[in-house]
């Protein structure tokens, strides 16, 4: 969560909150400040059974930018109950300084890394194995990573997985479905902190994949309706939540002249209108 930039008062207890000492919650156009003592906390874990106690896979990509249709993959991480694999990819294009500042990967770091055709074939084959096993795949802000992966497959003429059978669990969307956007910015770092999940090296693909997987499990453990739902029903719920989140964002974005999101763009989009939230 972000800190308040200006002196304010806590929206809950009304105590004074000096700049930089409180937390910003709410949504664009209706931000509120809370003191540390009143910060929102997740409910405790339950002991119910559910999909979170079984095999779950996780995928994360780091990239050259924020456009999932045009930018390129520079690193990946693949996690499931059988494998934990990460790797670098030489994107074949310059890496903007802004992207390198986020994930720490520049031309020197990627020198000698595999070309996209070979590296991404491994990723795509693994995704198909996840599909064939019927294992849910955790991807934080799935429309970004999965659309990026599909675009890369199309760019290099690679065999794609059966996207229609992929069972995606997107902690970004599930979290929104629970808190309805009322807790402020919800990047992976924010959601991990809320659910008490350690994320020591944000924007490292392996660290992010591990954290996203544990966040998904914690959400399911702490919200019985999520944990006990079938994964198929949860996929349906996420489509609805994503559409509602996009509509909510778009109402504000139209007044602010910001880019719109595609309400039907989960877990894959057809236009570059998804914002990077990881």
Q: Are residues 67 and 109 in the same domain?
A: yes
CA dihedral sign, ordered 19, 22, 23, 25 = negative
pLDDT tens for the chain, 278 residues long, are: 688 999 999 999 999 999 999 988 887 778 899 999 998 999 999 999 999 999 999 999 999 999 999 999 999 999 999 999 999 999 999 999 999 999 989 989 999 999 999 999 999 999 999 999 999 999 999 999 999 999 999 999 999 999 999 999 999 999 999 998 888 879 999 999 999 999 989 999 999 999 999 999 999 999 999 999 999 999 999 999 999 999 988 998 999 999 888 899 999 997 555 555 54
Quote the pLDDT of residue 48.
Answer: 98
Q: Give the structural domain span for 177.
A: 43-259
Quote the pLDDT of residue 2.
Answer: 81
- Does residue 111 lie within any of the structural domains? yes
Quote the pLDDT of residue 31.
Answer: 87
Q: Are residues 36 and 77 in the same domain?
A: no
What is the Cα–Cα distance from 191 to 218, expressed in whole angstroms?
10
Asked if the bond preceding 267 is cis, omega within 30° of 0, the reply is yes
Q: Are residues 78 and 19 in the same domain?
A: no
Quote the pLDDT of residue 184.
Answer: 80
Quote the pLDDT of residue 221.
Answer: 98
What is the Cα–Cα distance from 210 to 238, expressed in whole angstroms?
21
CATH code, domain carrying 184:
3.30.420.10
Quote the pLDDT of residue 208.
Answer: 98
Q: Are residues 59 and 196 in the same domain?
A: yes
Task: Specify the pTM.
Answer: 0.91
């Amino acid at each position: 969560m972000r800190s308040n930039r200006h002196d304010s008062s806590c929206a809950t207890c009304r105590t004074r909150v000096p700049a930089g000492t409180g937390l910003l919650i709410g949504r664009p156009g209706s931000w509120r400040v809370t003191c540390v003592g009143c910060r929102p906390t997740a409910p405790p874990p339950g002991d119910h059974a559910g999909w979170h106690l079984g095999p779950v896979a996780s995928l994360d990509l780091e990239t050259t930018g924020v456009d999932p249709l045009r930018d390129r993959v520079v690193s990946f991480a693949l996690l499931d109950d059988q494998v934990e694999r990460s790797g670098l990819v030489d994107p074949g294009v310059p890496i903007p300084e802004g992207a390198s500042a986020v994930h720490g990967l520049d031309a020197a770091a990627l020198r000698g890394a595999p070309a996209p055709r070979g590296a991404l074939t491994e990723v795509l084959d693994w995704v198909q194995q996840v599909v064939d096993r019927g294992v849910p795949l955790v991807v934080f802000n799935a429309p970004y990573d999965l659309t990026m992966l599909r675009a890369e497959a199309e760019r290099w003429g690679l065999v794609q997985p059966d996207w229609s059978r992929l069972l995606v669990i997107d902690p970004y969307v599930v979290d929104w479905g629970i808190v309805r956007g009322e807790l402020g910015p919800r990047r992976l770092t924010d959601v991990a902190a809320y659910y008490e999940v350690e994320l020591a090296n944000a924007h490292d693909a392996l660290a992010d994949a591990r954290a996203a997987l544990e966040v998904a499990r914690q959400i399911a453990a702490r919200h019985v309706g999520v944990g006990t739902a079938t994964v198929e029903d949860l996929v349906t719920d996420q489509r609805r939540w994503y559409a509602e989140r996009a509509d909510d964002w778009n109402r504000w974005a139209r007044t602010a002249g910001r880019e719109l999101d595609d309400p039907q763009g989960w877990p894959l989009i057809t236009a570059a209108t998804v914002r990077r939230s990881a």
